């Protein structure tokens, strides 16, 4: 039963292409990262931009060749971590500027995802190496490679008080105890009939009480929920295509997903029922280009949704797509 609505507020053109990460860093500001092909650099480049929800660009990082531009937002300080080719850079945005404060070398590691612990003491990195999970102590940025995950890392869940879920490119999901930094449970996703190889785990969301884990896969069933640590199947979701990103909203009662076909769906996290959905395909909307603050009417396509963020008051969801746009949607209850 649809008891919510997702109502369009505005559309911001922020990147030339592919938004990778998206964060609200206040009630009216967004931190947006992405990558695109630059003819000037003759390479794939990555950037991070700080913009207002009104469509004004406040600051941006210098374009970096081969940067992957996956970011993690520090939960305590006004700073964020950003992946790049064989490195991770820490930036501050305390005074409307993005200032580099630290650069962490990764050797030959290829980064895929980043996450901070809730207190900001640890920065966790996932990549494509033999020991693909690395943690940094943010007090002095000493690093430790952690053994126990045998695949390349594709995704992290958000970190609760003591647990972190890690997803692999070949369908492995592990639950880690981050007080001891060891895996305590794991589950190997089965290969779907007719598919070669195992599905990648594209996104994970762990409930605040650490009892339910939601996982997005590249093969059907595309969206699953498990009771952890036993990995008992819990909820069935009628998801028809690949899900790229998951986000549990405020109280955890609603799970948001973004998929390959441009759908943003709000699910009842306990029953798996759809409570609201949105797809901009076929709509004509005013799009604000944040580089020059010029607005123009555009016919919108429902392209892949790759990033989601929720505003501090829980009333607005930001949706980043593969064409570099951010769609701001109001969450309206019908009750």
Q: What is the pLDDT of residues 232-273, one digit of tens each?
A: 999 989 999 999 999 999 778 999 999 999 999 999 999 999
Q: Contact 305/245 with Cβ under 8 angstroms?
A: yes
Write down the pLDDT at residue 45. 80
Q: Contact 223/217 with Cβ under 8 angstroms?
A: yes
For residue 195, pLDDT over 80 is answered with: no
Q: Contact 278/264 with Cβ under 8 angstroms?
A: yes
Average pLDDT, the chain: 90
DSSP 8-state code for residue 200: P
What pLDDT digit, counting tens, does each position of 94-134 carry?
A: 878 899 888 888 766 667 789 999 999 999 999 877 668 99
Q: Centre a 10 Å sphere on the Cβ of residue 9 and count the other Cβ atoms it contains.
A: 13
Write down the pLDDT at residue 193. 63
Which residue's structure tokens are 């500027």? 97
Domains of the chain: 4-333 (2.130.10.10)
Question: How many Å apart are CA 214 and CA 108, to the nearest integer?
Answer: 31
For residue 159, pLDDT over 90 is answered with: no
Q: Contact 45/63 with Cβ under 8 angstroms?
A: yes
């Amino acid at each position: 039963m649809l008891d919510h609505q997702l109502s369009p507020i505005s559309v911001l053109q922020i990147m030339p292409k592919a938004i990778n990460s998206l964060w609200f860093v206040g009630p009216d500001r967004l931190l947006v990262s992405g990558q695109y092909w630059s003819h000037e650099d003759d390479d794939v480049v990555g950037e991070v931009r700080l913009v207002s929800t009104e469509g004004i660009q406040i600051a941006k990082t210098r374009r970096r060749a081969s940067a992957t531009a996956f970011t993690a937002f520090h939960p305590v300080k006004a700073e964020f971590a950003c992946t790049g080719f064989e490195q991770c850079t820490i930036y501050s945005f305390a005074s409307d500027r993005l200032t580099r404060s630290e650069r962490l070398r990764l050797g030959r590691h290829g980064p895929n995802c980043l996450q901070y612990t809730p207190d900001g003491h640890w920065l966790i990195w996932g990549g494509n190496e033999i020991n693909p999970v690395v943690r940094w102590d943010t007090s002095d940025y000493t690093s430790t490679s952690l053994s126990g995950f045998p695949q390349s890392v594709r995704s992290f869940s958000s970190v609760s008080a003591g647990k972190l879920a890690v997803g692999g490119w070949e369908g492995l999901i592990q639950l880690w105890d981050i007080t001891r930094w060891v895996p305590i449970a794991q589950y190997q996703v089965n290969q779907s009939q007719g598919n070669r190889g195992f599905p990648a785990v594209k996104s994970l969301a762990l409930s605040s009480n650490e009892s339910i884990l939601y996982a997005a896969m590249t093969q059907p069933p595309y969206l699953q929920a498990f009771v952890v640590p036993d990995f008992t199947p819990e909820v069935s979701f009628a998801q028809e295509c690949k899900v790229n990103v998951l986000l549990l909203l405020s109280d955890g009662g609603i799970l948001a997903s973004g998929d390959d076909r441009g759908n943003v769906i709000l699910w009842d996290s306990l029953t798996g029922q759809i409570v609201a959905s949105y797809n901009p395909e076929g709509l004509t909307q005013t799009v604000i280009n944040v580089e020059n603050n010029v607005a123009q009417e555009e016919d919108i396509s429902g392209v892949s949704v790759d990033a989601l963020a929720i505003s501090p008051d829980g009333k607005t969801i930001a949706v980043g797509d593969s064409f570099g746009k951010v769609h701001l949607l109001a969450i309206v209850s019908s009750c």
